[in-house]
Structure 1
């Protein structure tokens, strides 16, 4: 329902028209007066949009009016994007163009005379349409609300693990499930496979309960092999087998298994399970097809006696079909447990004692939640940091409280929380619809999509690409829209609850997940976002009917575009693409006219293992902000002319080149993040070049790399450094000794030459916040000067088997919040820092 997001689009359009760039360009092209008139009309329409968005459900004519506005706004966005492209083109021609190029530019369709004529026509058409919808606003009696007062407030993220103290009211349920897993199967003396279903409505906490059971120490001792699989709604046997095989094997790559047939896959599955006593969790199962289930179950009958499968499902019929014991029916929380959970999410710890009158209102709110933890957390998060009685009473008395059930409309607690989001955050949330249920999100992928579609307020090229993006993610977390959050320093991983996904699907009416067979309807012609979870038959997809598409995405890992006809059709027809993800595709070359996709902000060709060449025209994508070429292991060379990509902020490279075009890279005036990966012929990097805007540097799997000179003179803004799997790299060389880098995040992973931390990290004494050292087999200890770090919040030393000591002064770290250390420590007893429960447990294990 894109009509819910029009206010934020209007704000963005007006902000652009008021910017210095547009004013200057429009005056040069003698279009200033026309654009000012467009801006004034936009302001008139914007003033009534918030009221219209609230009232559209009861008025069909108003919904149609808003739909017209959406189409006008879309064309206006494309028209203004033309101005930005023209401005960037002029910059590049002036900075890098020869006389010949400048003359050719004058005679092209981009010269001022031709551009003025073409844009004047477009502006007049849009103004005429805007005038009409602006005049129609009077017939609806709409209230003027010119400012969206719904705001984003940030709540701290949590770590990935689910610990018992975070789960309220489920201790007895946990013990009951563990007892079912421990006891023998009454049938056939425990030799047959036992399946235990947990059944309950969405949001009750079935998955959370399964997690705390899965991670219990008793279960670890009882089942040598544990596997967790989030089941697809369509329950395809092949895909479920692949998931089970991959479930606890980080080295297996799904894209390789996809090429195997079912016979080969079932052989691998049986080999994995044979004679093993295993626990398999099948989370969120919907399948009611007995034949499919029996086929999969029979493949797993090779495990050792006592093997168990734990199933979570909303569907009683599914549970009855699969279970070998009676279903465990999960009930709602008690009112007291619900209130405790609500308080945990609505207040900072201990603050609730100041507001007894709010607790009384909260008690009435949780009664309406009927014991559903997701509802309780959602409304607690909605009221977080709000201390006005009226705000709490608004939630308690809201008209959305008609039913706790999920139907064709939104889940009421989520609807309440959604209604309080600012318009731009609403649209960000709705785009989760492009990904399949159970998808494992990376914050970079999500925020790149938001940024490419213009949903993040970062109009200044000197600002970082993800400006406010992490704040948006934190806001969605605080509203219980995200779960399983993992903070890995340079970003977040997370999932979303299946009910949350249902609601994103309800809202994302201008996006479509394409599954075959596909039937085109008239409503589809306005769809802007296309997601292909499968690639079967895409060569026949009617892309010509989606010429206004802004997003093309292949979200399933290992599944990319496999049709050259599909590529040629969308490149030639979809002129307004902003986000193009061709990861895991099979192309050897790209068509040269891909350089005409001038609106494109994001292009991923990751893991195109057949890609050998890129056209130089790719460098004509002057609006491109993200270019991902990682894992393109056959790519002979980068395209010529990279320096022209003056908007590029994030670049990932894999190439066979021995020497990277560092001078070209150094001229990328907006570059914020650089990732160099699997460049196995490169021996040295950054020989004297300056990367003045770079903030994030990642060097991964460059097996010939020997030197990596880092100095503040050449990297004055560098904040994040990740170095991973570089076997011969020596980080403590003399060139680095006097570096005064001001790093905030450092990750060193799989570096056999690392014996201790390089001395140049000392320059970050008052800036370093996150330090991870993992799988560095020759690391023997941490230096004493590490205890002088005044801002360090997270210290993780993992899988470093030869680390023998941890200096006793480590307890002087004043800001440490998270500590995780394993290894053969001899001096761990000096560790006296007050840490989270799981760290204390880890230390007990070491003792």
Structure 2
């Protein structure tokens, strides 16, 4: 699993070299052929990497060769970042004001000729090292492998339908729930459907196959179905092979019912040479006139065409036939299922402990070792409710009563246990192996955050974008859209949990065992710094500091390859401005610098030396008072967050120089913002004001427009009275929260009658004096997708335009106790997928199932949550 990570890094570099952006700038700067040489040699090395990983334990020199490749790749990334800087410079030149300004910036910073000379020796060095590495690889006798590792994944062992009932722990409720779904009278699986498909979905090791076994062998299943079949599909979704397996399973079932096992064997031997036409005819005869249950275990296929082909062949059974499918992928479950997926949860702590003791001790033996049982309780917590993890760690300690061994496993993690085929690590390895290379690299960055961390979409998008993990497939595709695709794919693979989509943003967590997996694959490139950290590997490139530790200057790497430094834990931050200065001088190629919860009064002026820096977070620094003007030399800076810097007196003039800036989040003591300097920021998409207590008006004057701004966040600005909405013509997201003096009922006056609000997401909170929502919301009725209103204690009715919001997907109402009714024509909101109503007593009563007055009206909405906290 970790063995393919270097392949993924090299593959990512190839992707960057082939990307639209690098192609354009390479041609413009006359270095296209030089970079093509690097690309060609890197392709050769990439094809040798998989063979090298297989043989590295047999040849010590190969391990050194792999380390050299990793070093070259790291240096090559820096070279490619120089090209990204050139792209940013080109954009800055094109977006700056006067012609004189353009010439001055162009000459003083760079031009294609100067850039080529400056980069020539670096490109030559990289090419030379790569050519030598390629020659060494051939000398080692390495064989080229053209198959991407995700296509050469380890195979899962074939499953079967038998299970020892006594070994199944804690799944009785799950079994009963699914048996209800299998009954023909269940409302979600009515008898009018010729073939109902029920997916069971969850991460690897959770017990999906065990649960399916448990069901398959229940006597009530024999009463519900005339024929039951079991097929392990795994990652080879070959139509012909699956049909043969179904026929053979049907034959086994028929033979079992007549005690004619010889018949079954004969069928299995005779049909292998059948073509698909004869096979489908044979299958239809097997299923015709029978009500069957077919378990399709371990489905990975997400090709809907292949699934429909198989499903059509299986429709030969009578009405009431069912397919029970197990999968790790929410996407696959959604594609296959005719009913909502049954999402399998982890076992509770009590059942996990019972299971652990069963695997770690002989029966009754645990009573002799109460000290080990106490450690076992801690180990069980690490398993996060996953039965296979419990079994793995329990069996690894079976009949071992050495206290130190148990403490080692407890303190050093599950992955340090010796594992065998079928244990939790190989089980999750299969999920990891199935990922494409671009997703594996992104996945590794989850290791930089503590367990239980709530990821925010902006943060993860900015991280992936800054580090070049996301490459637009054409010149216009948005990075945010691509990252959302990546996260959706990880979520579909059951790697994420508590995923919440708010329309304009999303939040999620990573399952504890998946977090352990991320740490395992990340290797020495990614380092979590705690009070226990004795040293940091020289090759470390991404540092995450989780505890307030006094960082010794000898501890931090001397390598210049560090690209990421972050403080992800609230309240843990950098206390030493001198150390920051050292970092700046040493790590000139930093891309992502998160100084949250730091405590210094100003940034060092040397910050300007971080010319590669894309993201700078200085959040929750209660001491910082000023920003140095040198910050405006950060031409690559895309994100600047100053949220929670409550002592920041004012922002320095000169923001128009940050021409790459996409997001700006501010806490400041100043009275207003001057939009003149922001107007030239052609890439500024998001602006946020938080705890700007002195600010009465958002801007001085209202003539300037921010034509690129798409999102405006205003929170806890206690003196803010209003702002001119028309200066944001492309605004699609507006959040206003906890601003007690804000006049929400201002009139929206666009510059022309044709220009209307194009809001997609509107979230409002804490407007105690408002009796009804403002009229300007009507102007967004045709575009609004999410509407969230909270803490309107005197709001008595929803706006009449609500039922005109035909694009509305999400409606959230909370703490509006005077609100007692919904519009009678709510049925017109055909796009509405989610309705949440909390702390609205009378309205909740009318919406609550099953007898609520409004229940028939809202029953068709996919996700309804009423009166829950």
TM bin (shorter chain): 0.5 to 0.7
Cα distance between partner residues in 1 of 2:554 and 2:176: 48
Query: CA separation in 2, counterparts of 1:73 and 1:633?
Result: 42
Counterparts in 2 of 1:3 and 1:594: CA distance versus 1, 3 Å? farther
Does 1:660 find its partner at 2:673?
Answer: yes
Report the CA distance between 1:690 and its aligned residue.
2.1
Counterpart contact for 2:455–2:509, Cα < 8 Å: yes
Aligned match of 2:4: 4
Equivalent residue for 1:701, pick from 712, 716, 730: 716
CA gap of 1:630–1:128, structure 2 versus 1, over 3 A, is same
Task: Find out whether 1:639 has 2:663 as its counterpart.
Answer: no
How far residue 664 of structure 1 moved from its aligned partner, in angstroms, is 1.8
Which of 336, 345, 348 is the matching residue for 2:214? 336
1:379 maps to: 328
The aligned residue for residue 777 of structure 1 is 793
Superposed, 1:518-537 pairs within 5 Å as 518-520=533-535, 524-537=537-550
Unaligned 5+ segments in structure 1 are: 152-166, 176-201, 207-330, 348-353, 367-375, 388-399
CA–CA distance in structure 1, aligned partners of residues 565 and 704 of structure 2: 36
1:380 deviates by 5.1
Structure 1 position 748, deviation (Å): 0.8
Q: What corresponds to 1:811 in structure 2?
A: 827
Deviation at 1:761, TM superposition (A): 2.5
Unaligned runs of 5+ in 2: 154-168, 178-202, 219-229, 236-241, 250-292, 301-324, 337-387, 394-413, 848-852
Give the aligned partner of residue 678 of structure 1: 691
Query: Bigger CA drift: 604-613 or 434-443?
Result: 434-443
SS at match of 1:542: coil
Deviation at 1:420, TM superposition (A): 0.7
- 2:503 is matched with which residue: 483, 489, 498? 489
Give secondary structure in 2 for the equivalent of 1:771.
strand
Q: CA deviation at 1:516?
A: 2.4
TM-score relative to the length of structure 2: 0.66
Write out aligned runs for 1:459-498 (5 A).
Answer: 463-498=477-512
CA separation of 1:689 and 1:503: change in aligned 2, threshold 3 A: same
Quickly say closer, same or farther: Cα 1:838–1:36, change in 2 above 3 A: closer
DSSP 3-state at the match of 1:467: helix
Choose the corresponding residue for 2:142, options 132, 140, 152: 140
SS of structure 2 residue aligned to 1:631? coil
Mapping of residues 215-364 of structure 1, within 5 Å: 333=211, 335-336=213-214, 357=246, 362-363=296-297
Give the SS at the match of 1:493. Answer: strand
- Distance (Å, rounded) in 2 between the aligned partners of 1:682 and 1:377: 56
Contact 2:5–2:521 (CA<8 Å) still a contact in 1?
Answer: no
Query: 2:467 matched to 1:453?
Result: yes
Q: 1:658 to 1:812 in 2, by over 3 A?
A: same
Q: Give the drift of 1:549.
A: 0.7
Superposed displacement of residue 517, structure 1? 4.5
| CA offsets 1:474-525 (integer angstroms, 9 cap, x no match) | 222222211122333332222222211211111111101112243236xx11
Match of 1:568 among 581, 586, 589: 581
Q: What is aligned with 1:751?
A: 767
How many residue pairs were aligned?
646
Q: Which residue, out of 462, 484, 504, partners 2:518?
A: 504
- Contact 2:650/2:669, CA 8 A, preserved across alignment: yes
Question: Which range is displaced more, 433-442 or 755-764?
Answer: 755-764
Cα distance change on mapping 1:837 and 1:141 into 2, 3 Å: same
Cα drift, residue 804 of structure 1? 3.5
Contact 2:51–2:142 under 8 Å retained in 1: no
Distance in 2, matches of 1:841 and 1:771, equals 15
Match of 1:622 in 2: 635
Q: Does structure 1 conserve the Cα–Cα contact (< 8 Å) formed by 2:666 and 2:688?
A: yes
Q: Write out per-residue CA displacement over residues 679-732 of structure 1, whole angstroms, 9 at most, x where no aligned residue.
A: 222222352332222222211112222223323xx4343222211111122223
CA contact (8 A) 1:779 1:800 kept: yes
Tell whether the 8 Å contact from 2:175 to 2:215 is kept in structure 1 after alignment.
no
Residue 856 (structure 2) aligns with: 832
- Per the alignment, in what secondary structure is the counterpart of residue 772 of structure 1? strand
Return 685-694 or 596-605, whichever deviates more.
685-694
Give the deviation of 1:60 after TM superposition. Answer: 5.8
Q: 1:720: which partner in 2?
A: 733
Seen in structure 2, the aligned counterparts of structure 1 residues 88 and 478 have a Cα distance that, compared at 3 Å, is closer
Q: 2:119 — aligned with what?
A: 119
**8 A contact 1:378–1:417 mirrored in 2:** no
Taking structure 1 as the reference length, what is the TM-score of the superposition?
A: 0.68
2:594 to 565, 581, 600: 581
Deviations 1:133-160 (A, max 9, x none): 2234432112224797799xxxxxxxxx
1:37-116 counterparts in 2 under 5 A?
37-49=37-49, 62-89=62-89, 91-92=91-92, 95-96=96-97, 106=107, 110=110, 115-116=115-116
Moved more, 29-38 or 790-799: 29-38
Q: Does 1:426 align with 2:440?
A: yes
Asked if the contact 1:382/1:417 (under 8 Å) is kept, the reply is: no
Q: Residue 805 and residue 444 in structure 1: after superposition, are their counterparts in 2 closer, same or farther (change >3 A)?
A: same
Please list the CA deviations of residues 607-643 of structure 1 after superposition, one character each: whole Å capped at 9, or x if unmatched.
Answer: 1111111112212212222111111111122233222
Pairing 1:438–2:452 present: yes
Per-residue deviation, 1:763: 3.2
In structure 2, relative to structure 1, the CA distance for the partners of 1:500 and 1:655 (3 Å cut) is same
